[in-house]
Amino acid sequence: DAGVTQSPTHLIKTRGQQVTLRCSPKSGHDTVSWYQQALGQGPQFIFQYYEEEERQRGNFPDRFSGHQFPNYSSELNVNALLLGDSALYLCASSLWVAGEREGEETQYFGPGTRLLVL
Residues that bind other proteins (CB under 8 A): 4, 33, 35, 40-45, 48, 55-56, 58, 90, 102-104, 106-112
d(CA 25, CA 11): 20
- For the bound state, the minimum distance from the C-beta of residue 2 to other proteins, rounded and expressed in Å, comes to 14
Q: What is the signed CA dihedral for 4, 36, 106, 73, rounded to 10 degrees?
A: -40
- For the bound state, the minimum distance from the C-beta of residue 74 to other proteins, rounded and expressed in Å, comes to 16
Q: Which is nearer to other proteins, 19 or 112 (CB)?
A: 112
d(CA 1, CA 53): 26
Q: Which is nearer to other proteins, 14 or 105 (CB)?
A: 105
